[in-house]
Amino acid sequence: MAVQINPSILSADFARLADEAKAVEGADWLHVDVMDNHFVPNLTLGVPVVESLARATDTPLDCHLMIEDPDRWAPQYVEAGASSVTFHAEAAAAPVRLAREIRAKGARASMALKPATPVEPFEDLLPELDMILIMTVEPGFGGQAFLDIMLPKIRRTRELIAKHGLSLWLQVDGGVSAATVERCAEAGADVFVAGSAVYGADDPAEAVRALRASAEAATSRAAWACAHGGPRSEGGASAS
């Protein structure tokens, strides 16, 4: 199982996004938080900024849509250049149809769950997805403290993935840092979104490398990963 590190530009300098993207070119993806001030109490950026960012970096974009009506808007983010698009289960009217549309347009389809949303009701939808995101804070703002009570949910999600024999990525987002990444990896996560832990560091690229090393070490000890032959390192991800 490959460990992937996705720096979140929510913690970057929005006036220097192209430079901030270059500062983490060793990352697997660049995580882009799209918020509409309705689904979550914050407002960030939209399609035009994603288009510009896609032209400014070779690192694939992982767009996390914390917005209402993702059924309408998600396909536009694929067209804007996103290689992975995540919609929230709590906001999507037709998640299977939406996931299939995202995939048909050439991107990876992902579904996110807020901390209070259980994963079990969505078990039958998992084969329609390329990734599932377990939020480890309440979505809306960066810099929040990691919610340890999400670790059992990460474990249950990994068990469901194994139960169905899926090659589904399990992403965690919120409070991921040097202090928490190992616990997330041991619980079953293999894709890690990190904002302030990367962009708040003196050397963002080194922070990415350190997080990857810690996650890989923890994964190598985890029972769930041992059953799949242990972790492997990827020097970048593709949209396929």
Each of the 240 residues of the chain gets a pLDDT tens digit; together they read 599 999 999 999 999 999 999 999 999 999 999 999 999 988 899 999 999 999 999 999 999 999 999 999 999 999 999 999 999 999 999 999 999 999 999 999 999 999 999 999 999 999 999 999 999 999 878 778 999 999 999 999 999 999 999 999 999 999 999 999 999 999 999 999 999 999 999 999 999 999 999 999 999 999 898 766 555 544 444 443
Residue-level pLDDT at 144 = 85
Residue-level pLDDT at 229 = 58
Marked catalytic residue, from 36, 130, 173, 190: 173
Q: Determine the Cα–Cα distance for residues 112 and 127; give it in Å rounded to an integer.
A: 15
173 part of the active site: yes
Q: Does the annotation flag 143 for ligand binding?
A: yes
Q: Does the annotation flag 31 for ligand binding?
A: yes
Angle formed by the axes of helices 70-80 and 95-104, nearest 10° = 10
Q: Does the annotation flag 165 for ligand binding?
A: no
- The b-or-e profile of 171-202 (16+ CB within 10 A means b, else e) is bbbbbbbeebbbbbbbbbbbbbbbbbbbbebe
111 bridge partner residues: 87, 132
Q: Does the annotation flag 236 for ligand binding?
A: no
Q: Does the annotation flag 141 for ligand binding?
A: yes
Q: Determine the Cα–Cα distance for residues 129 and 235; give it in Å rounded to an integer.
A: 23
Marked catalytic residue, from 28, 33, 62, 130: 33
Residue-level pLDDT at 239 = 40
33 part of the active site: yes
Q: Determine the Cα–Cα distance for residues 148 and 106; give it in Å rounded to an integer.
A: 35
- Model pTM score: 0.92
Q: Does the annotation flag 46 for ligand binding?
A: no
Residue-level pLDDT at 107 = 98
Residue-level pLDDT at 41 = 86
